[in-house]
Amino acid sequence: MPHNLVSEMNAEEISIPVPWGHISAKTWGHPLATQVLFLHGKQDNCNTFDRLIPLLRQGFYFVCLDIPGHGCSSHFSPGFRITLESYVTAIKRVVDHLQWKQFKCIGHSMGGMIASFFASIYPEYIERLVMIDCAGPMSIYPEDTIQFMRTLCDNLLMVESKTMNRSPPSYTYEQAVNRILTKRPSKLTRHSADILIKRSLIKNSDGKYSFSTDQRLKVDYNQGFTPMQQMVLIHSIKCPVLYLLAAENMFQKLPGNKLTRKMYKSNRNIQIVKVNGNHDVHLNHPERIADLINTFLFSECSKL
């Protein structure tokens, strides 16, 4: 039997209680082994790591979360904008529930930003961090603060108005997959899309499907830190960090993302390594990054 199928068969579903409902997760390995937490990107779910997990060294306890508002996890309570701080607090609830004192972490895109923020605020918890193609978060200059805040408020109210008392759009499975394949800025293979979408769909009574993702994710989750605040946060990260930069992600070339990456590069604990692939390289071509992650996370010597 192929190695990845063995790993998938051994996956266990867990549910972690939180005040607004629950956070779902898939786990591999024994809870007493060295813990590794996985955080996915915006509008994805924990299945995004299904092809990477089997390529990582076994003998660890892998916990892949559905971040609130994604996959099988409950949405946050309605009525407020979701921010990185909201997610960091949710992750702390998970860590406290699991009674973890120290752990390693792998985050993709938004998940990497959440992990980075967590590592800044709670540096004693994260031993090593892998950030997979995190384009941001971008800083907000003081003179742009008012317009930034007004746009956030207006966008939240607009999303609420559009979704209030309305059923979400309904699709056949093929229509839903086609949306994943055509609407994402980062292109997935059909195989990757099938893996990811399985955990993002809710079957309706008519046999069609709706996406489970919280519509508030269409509103920017950026905290709105100034460049100086952002620099302070990044330099509060004390653990070794492997920042994997996807060569085919054009968004990485935006001025704001270049500035953020320059800040990360200025922290001596952070090493940036460019890899071939697009933003979803971990799902489309996990073999391109698995050895880098294994060497960094699971070897005594982490020099690449």
**Beta-strand (E) ranges in the chain?**
12-18, 21-28, 34-39, 60-65, 103-108, 126-132, 201-203, 209-211, 241-246, 270-275
**Catalytic hit among 7, 73, 86, 109:** 109
User: Is-contact 64 53, C-beta < 8 A?
Assistant: yes
109 in active site: yes
162-214-178 Cα angle (round to 5): 85
Structure tokens at 291: 């050895």
The residue type of 240 is P
126-132 and 103-108 beta bridge pairing: parallel
Runs of H (alpha helix) within 10-83: none
- The two structure tokens encoding residue 297: 């996370």
Q: What are phi and psi of 31, to 5 degrees?
A: -60, -20
Residue entry with tokens 């200059």: 141
**CA 36/CA 54 separation, integer angstroms:** 14
Task: Extract the tokens encoding 31.
Answer: 């809870």
Q: Report the sign of the C-alpha dihedral through residues 159, 161, 162, 166, in that order.
A: positive
Amino acid at the residue 81 = R
Catalytic site residues? 109
